Amino acid sequence: MTIEEIENEIVEEFEMFEDWMQRYEHLIDLGKSMPMIEEKNKTEDKLIKGCQSQVWMHSELKDGKIVYTADSDAIITKGMVALMIRVLSNHTPQEIIDSKLDFIEKIGLTKHLSPTRSNGLLSMIKQMKLDAIAYAAKS
Amino acid sequence: MTELKTSTSLLLNIEAIRADFPILSRKVNGKQLIYFDNGATAQKPVSVIDAIDTYYKNQNANIHRGVHTLSQEITVAYENARTTIQKHLNAKHAHEIVFTSGTTASVNLLASSFAKKNIQAGDEIIISAMEHHSNILPWQQLCEEKDALLKIIPISKEGELIIDEFEKLISNKTKIIAVTHISNTLGTINPIKKIIAIAHSKNIPVMIDGAQAVPHTAVDVQELDCDFYVFSGHKLFGPTGVGVLYGKEKWLNELPPYQVGGGTIKTVTFEKTEYADLPLKFEAGTPHIAGGIGLAAAIDYINTIGLEKIAAYEHELLLYATDALQKIDGLKIIGTAKNKVSVISFIVEGLHPFDIGTLLDQMGIAVRTGHHCTQPLMQFYGVPGTIRASFAFYNTKQEIDEFVKTLMRVINMLK
Ligand SMILES: Cc1ncc(COP(=O)(O)O)c(C=O)c1O
């Protein structure tokens, strides 16, 4: 699937829920089932610090595609990280660089993007794209 | 004789009080707002909003400058606001009240001004382990600049200052002591009168950070005998962007100006400037006039209710909420001092405060999560942050019930 197709899939998934609590419950479940970063990769330089919760993010290039693994100390943040990984992981650096990530707004998580929430989602997206730019430059 | 025991809540007409605060009737995420983040900033009664509105609609002019009617009227109103604050703190003189932009600005003003003449290399400054960053960083930076030493009064695990240790920290190098009246994170009411007495027995001045105290308790600066007392308007139901530095006349006269410019002078030539008398010497530039007027309106408002009644009612809320929260499995209250105001910090085993705060917000409940600008304190307790519910006199037991019920639901979702 293309990045956009996955985004649409997620939007549909979230539309099924009637209220906000269910959406967050889903986010929490996603967080619990996220592909975990390996302990050895949980280093200081992989840490994206938010004011409240933090994210460890690791990326590798496999067969021309980037594979991300991550973790967070907060479960809702982890759920959001899981969504981002589902959307971006296993795509080429260029596809990731070009992605618009409209789904965040469509599923109503935009408020987590505002800098005041400081949970690191914004910095995390930036980091994922920066990694992609770095890989693109190398290839 | 339980029937005779007056419930303090009967002394306050909470419904009427709530009607004075327009924001309390709004909805958040489709739910009736429950505002438990009063420690961060308090909501504003209509009288404060009206005072600001009237100022801009009908009174706006610059103060202390014009001969025209508007300017003279607003100068009087602004100086009356100063007098309102003076009386509220029972300061000896109105000119001991310096308007600033808030607690942080007041501490910075004092630290900078005090350091100019009074701090040399090797000198010492004492603060406490429960200070807000705003009462740490200005002193820390000053110590770095001047090669002075910052000493920290330790606290017990309950969250109380250890006074014996404080006494041991004092030396003949100690130049000033700056401690908080009430901890924003723990709610602890510190024995500041005792601290001031101990400091004064060694001729050391004391600054009290009253940011969290003025909304909950009456403060009498003469009775306390503190040398400086600072607070913010916005936590006292007044506007943001205005605050106070109270200083004893003797000290304020002695200290050099901090920022200089228009309004701070008697005469200026390019060779020499003669500074204005107090308090103008510390009030460079056009101040937040609407802020000062709004703050006075806020003080008038709480005085019509009465801080004694407020404190008694809030104490009831504190006990009620503490009792209910303690019954929740895995919940731990951080800060269990004997003397507390209506501020409760807690953590829930295995859960991140951010997750709890996010879900509570979805249900219309505003609490604060995180380190509350007291990172050293978080390090002391070994937690990344806490959830903090802080109550004001417009909060109710029904709101606490709703909060506790929602919190339990949230905990179940996250577990
Ligand atoms: C104890 C204490 N000191 C200082 C401050 C800083 O106040 P302001 O941000 O209004 O300058 C606060 C505000 O959170 C506080 O609680």
Q: What was the pLDDT predicted at B325?
A: 98
Contact yes or no for B31/B363 (Cβ under 8 A): yes
Q: What was the pLDDT predicted at B8?
A: 57
Q: What was the pLDDT predicted at A119?
A: 55
ipTM reported for the complex surpasses 0.85: yes
Counting from 1 in the atom list of ligand 1, the atom nearest the Cα of B106 is 11
Instruction: Locate B165 and state its tokens.
Output: 């240790």
Residue A51 reports pLDDT greater than 90? no
To the question of domain A3-138 being in CATH 3.90.1010.10, the answer is yes
Q: A76–B29: do the CB atoms touch at under 8 Å?
A: no
**Separation of alpha carbons B33 and B399, rounded Å:** 9
Q: Residue A20: which of B29, B352, B384 has the nearest Cβ?
A: B29
Contact yes or no for B98/B279 (Cβ under 8 A): yes
Instruction: Locate B89 and state its tokens.
Output: 């703190």
Size of interface A-B (CB pairs under 8 A): 39
**Separation of alpha carbons B154 and B271, rounded Å:** 48
Instruction: Locate B339 and state its tokens.
Output: 């003397």
What percent helix, strand, coil does chain B show, rounded to 5?
Answer: 45, 20, 35
DSSP of B355-388: HHHHHHHHTTEE-EEE-TT-HHHHHHHT-S-EEE
Q: Round the CA-based radius of gyration of chain A to a whole number and report it.
A: 14
**For A112, which residue in chain B has the nearest alpha carbon?**
B358
**Separation of alpha carbons B206 and B185, rounded Å:** 22
Q: Residue B355: which of A20, A51, A76 has the nearest Cβ?
A: A76
Output the CA B394–ligand 1 centroid distance in Å: 21
Residue A116 reports pLDDT greater than 90? no
Output the CA B31–ligand 1 centroid distance in Å: 29
Q: State the average pLDDT over residues A97-126.
A: 76
Q: Does B414 touch chain A (CB under 8 A)?
A: yes
Q: What was the pLDDT predicted at A42?
A: 84
Lining ligand 1 with CB less than 6 A are: B 102-104, 132, 134-135, 180, 184, 209, 211-212, 232, 373
Instruction: Locate B290 and state its tokens.
Output: 């609407």
Backbone φ and ψ of B348, nearest 5°: -120, 125
Q: Round the CA-based radius of gyration of chain B to a whole number and report it.
A: 22
DSSP code, position B285: S
Residues of A in Cβ contact (< 8 Å) with B370: 51-52
Q: What was the pLDDT predicted at B109?
A: 98
**Separation of alpha carbons B388 and B385, rounded Å:** 9
Q: Residue B384: which of A20, A25, A73 has the nearest Cβ?
A: A73
Q: B362–A25: do the CB atoms touch at under 8 Å?
A: no
Which of B282, B287, B280, B288 is CA-nearest to residue B240?
A: B288
Q: Does B361 touch chain A (CB under 8 A)?
A: no
Residues of B catalogued as catalytic: 373
Residues of B in Cβ contact (< 8 Å) with A53: 352, 354
DSSP code, position B189: B
* Class in CATH terms, B8-32+306-414: alpha beta
Which chain A residues have any C-beta within 8 angstroms of a chain B C-beta? Answer: 20-21, 24-25, 28, 51-53, 73-77, 119
Q: Does B215 touch chain A (CB under 8 A)?
A: no
Residues of A in Cβ contact (< 8 Å) with B352: 53, 73-75
pLDDT tens digits, chain B, 415 residues: what are they?
A: 334 444 555 679 999 999 999 999 999 988 999 999 999 999 999 999 999 999 999 999 999 877 899 999 999 999 999 999 999 999 999 999 999 999 999 999 999 999 999 999 999 999 999 999 999 999 999 999 999 999 999 999 999 999 999 999 999 999 999 999 999 999 999 999 999 999 999 999 999 999 999 999 999 999 999 999 999 999 999 999 999 999 999 999 999 999 888 878 888 888 888 888 899 999 999 999 999 999 999 999 999 999 999 999 999 999 999 999 999 999 999 999 999 999 999 999 999 999 999 999 989 999 999 888 999 999 999 998 999 999 999 999 999 999 999 999 999 999 8
With a CB cutoff of 8 Å and minimum separation 6, the contacts of B45 are B20, B21, B237, B298, B301
Q: B354–A52: do the CB atoms touch at under 8 Å?
A: yes
Q: Which residues of B354-375 are buried (b: 16+ CB within 10 A; e: fewer)?
A: bbbbbbbbbbbbbbbbbbbbbe
Q: Does B366 touch chain A (CB under 8 A)?
A: no
Which of B158, B157, B178 is CA-nearest to residue B166?
A: B178
In a mutational test of the pocket of ligand 1, which residue from B37, B106, B127, B134 has the highest number of ligand atoms less than 8 Å from its CB? B134
What's the 3-state SS for B72-121?
Answer: HHHHHHHHHHHHHHHHHHCCCCHHHEEEECCHHHHHHHHHHHHHHHHCCC
In a mutational test of the pocket of ligand 1, which residue from B131, B373, B377, B390 has the highest number of ligand atoms less than 8 Å from its CB? B373
**Min Cα separation A74/chain B (Å):** 5
Q: B352–A51: do the CB atoms touch at under 8 Å?
A: no
Q: Where are the domains positioned within chain A? A: 3-138
Rounded to the nearest 5 degrees, what angle is found at the Cα of A72, between the Cα atoms of A69 and A77? Answer: 105
Output the CA B235–ligand 1 centroid distance in Å: 8
Q: Where are the domains positioned within chain B? A: 8-32+306-414, 49-303
**Min Cα separation B409/chain A (Å):** 10
A72: left (phi over 0), alpha (psi -120 to 50) or beta: beta
**Separation of alpha carbons B346 and B243, rounded Å:** 29
Which residue in the block uniquely carries the two structure tokens 């380190």? Answer: B371
Around B103, how many Cα atoms within 13 Å sit in the side-chain half-sphere?
A: 30
DSSP of B43-72: ---HHHHHHHHHIIIII---TTT--SHHHH
Q: How many CB atoms lie within 10 A of CB A32?
A: 11
**Separation of alpha carbons B317 and B120, rounded Å:** 47
Q: What was the pLDDT predicted at A125?
A: 86
Q: Which of B355, B361, B363, B365 to mutate to test the interface with A (most CBs of A within 10 A)?
A: B355
**For B369, which residue in chain A has the nearest alpha carbon?**
A52
**Separation of alpha carbons B344 and B183, rounded Å:** 11
Q: Which of B37, B41, B358, B367 to mutate to test the interface with A (most CBs of A within 10 A)?
A: B358
Q: Which of A25, A53, A116 to mutate to test the interface with B (most CBs of B within 10 A)?
A: A53
Q: What was the pLDDT predicted at A50?
A: 67
Q: What was the pLDDT predicted at A134?
A: 95
**For A25, which residue in chain B has the nearest alpha carbon?**
B413
**Min Cα separation B175/chain A (Å):** 34
> Residues of B numbered 98-157 whose beta carbons fall under 8 angstroms of chain A's beta carbons: which are they?
none
Q: B49-303 has which CATH code?
A: 3.40.640.10
* A110 vs B285, more confident: B285
Q: A119–B355: do the CB atoms touch at under 8 Å?
A: no
